[in-house]
Amino acid sequence: MIYHIVTTQPDIYKSFLETGLIARGIDRKIIDIKVHNLHDYAFDAHHSVDDTPAGGGAGMVLKVDVMANALTQVKSSPSRQGESEAEKLKVKSKTILLTPQGKNFDQNKAKELAKLDEIILIAGRFEGYDERIRDLVDEEISIGDFVLTSGDIPAQIIIDATSRMICGFIEKNESTIEESFSYCPLSTSPYPLLEYPQYTRPVDFEGKKIPEVLLSGNHGEIAKWRHDQALKRTHLRRPDLIC
């Protein structure tokens, strides 16, 4: 998977790219993340990427001509050079605008995006986007019903959630199966469940003990207990997930 990020703040990704599973995924060539500075695609000497809103108002708006130039060049970047037109058509790619006006991102969307070969994420800033930028993208995504100072944190969230769905990114694939917002293998419910409670040593911590069933060695009973707990937790904590 190749991720392209179009941003006005490329330095914000330094730690993200050099830490933990993301860094290991890059090192093992399971994922590749390319950060593109939007200012590099501006047309004037000041590298301007924004302007005042037409009709007046507060804030600054990202320019459509600069964004169009950036996307054109990103799509013809060295990672795509040398491919025939037929090969380029076979690449499963999406250009995604990160905006609070987009559809909410969830686990199912992460799984869907993980099937792609390439994702271009537009991480905006300032007051917003020139409306015509929406015509340049395939999809608009939001990470929640709140407003941030930029789309850079949402971009990192989407990369993190999507990458862990890619085969080989996490060594133990079962870790991505029985977790929150995934479908429980034992469940006949049509909705995803929150993960069941987890425990580890010590067995007794200040009078709070690990449930005996988890120490029984009976894998059938353990699986049933986990399924029941996942159902109870979902009903209690996230009834909105239940259709």
**Residues 57 and 83: beta-carbon distance below 8 Å:** no
What pTM was computed for the model? Answer: 0.85
Task: List the one residue out of 197, 199, 200, 198 whose CA is nearest residue 232.
Answer: 197
- Residue 147's identity, in one-letter code, is V
Query: 144-201 pLDDT, tens per residue?
Result: 999 999 999 999 999 999 999 999 999 866 555 555 555 444 555 667 899 999 999 9
pLDDT, tens digit (0-9, with 9 covering 90-100), for 5-16: 999 999 999 999
pLDDT tens digits along 103-121: 999 999 999 999 999 999 9
Closest CA to 196 of 209, 207, 185: 185
The candidate with the shortest Cα–Cα distance to 111, out of 158, 44, 63, 155, is 158
pLDDT for res 91 = 84
In the chain the domains, ranked by start, together with CATH numbers, are 2-163 (3.40.1280.10), 181-241 (1.10.1270.20)
